[in-house]
Amino acid sequence: MKTPPTFIVLSREWCHLCHELVDELAPIAREFGWAVTVLDVDADPELEAKWDEAVPVLLHGEHELCRYRLDSEAVRAYCRAFPLESST
């Protein structure tokens, strides 16, 4: 079985915008069969140095999909355009 594409959310435990983004992202991830991984920037000095107060950030790999608030239409468009694996 192939691993689903994964959204990465750069977050902070105390950040209410981070929690809102994750909550709003969950149904979109289910809709398209994507996984969601939340990384706490405070737990990783490299992430904290790079992103600091710019969280939440939604990434797919190195591609930034949105920052601070979920842009659900942009995320859905990105998922629809994401290349699908052929079943043949």
Q: How confident is the model over 21-61, as pLDDT tens digits? A: 999 999 999 999 999 999 999 999 999 999 999 999 999 99
- Determine the structural domain holding residue 51 and report its residue range: 6-81
CATH of the domain at 11: 3.40.30.10
Query: According to the 3-state scheme, what is the secondary structure of the chain?
Result: CCCCCEEEEEECCCCHHHHHHHHHHHHHHHHHCCEEEEEEHHHCHHHHHHHCCCCCEEEECCEEEEECCCCHHHHHHHHHHCCCCCCC
Asked if residue 47 belongs to a domain, the reply is yes
pLDDT of 12 strictly over 90: yes
Please state the domain count of the chain: 1
The predicted pLDDT at position 2 comes to 80
The pLDDT tens digits of the residues spanning 67-78 come to: 999 999 999 999
pLDDT of 86 strictly over 80: no
pTM: 0.89
